[in-house]
């Protein structure tokens, strides 16, 4: 695995995170505007749970990527 492969992996996760963030914000707003649904308390709580779950998933994914990157860099190091 070269540095370009690592950069491609990080770029992929960055794009995935950005698209997921846009979808999480845009879909409920589109539904509420299109169908005239007001975000009542239950809808707001469900939306908030969705945002919190997305934040937890993105943090876990970032930490897993960082950990695997560190393991990969450590495996390249060879003592002289």
Residue 70, SS3 per DSSP: helix
- Give the pLDDT of residue 25: 74
List pLDDT tens digits, range 7-63: 777 777 777 777 777 777 777 777 777 776 665 666 777 777 887 887 787 777 777
Rg of the chain taking only CA atoms, in angstroms: 19
Euclidean distance between CA atoms 13 and 15, whole angstroms = 5
Euclidean distance between CA atoms 34 and 29, whole angstroms = 8
Instruction: Tell me the domain boundaries of the chain.
Output: 3-76
Structure tokens at 41: 């308390």
Structure tokens at 56: 């937890």
């Amino acid at each position: 695995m070269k540095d370009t492969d690592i950069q491609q992996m990080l770029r992929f996760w960055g794009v995935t995170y950005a698209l997921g963030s846009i979808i999480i914000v845009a879909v409920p707003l589109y539904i509420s505007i299109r169908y005239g649904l007001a975000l009542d308390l239950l809808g707001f709580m469900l939306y908030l749970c969705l945002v919190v779950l997305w934040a937890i998933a993105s943090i876990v994914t970032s930490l897993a990527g960082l950990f695997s990157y560190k393991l990969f860099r450590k495996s390249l190091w060879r003592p002289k």
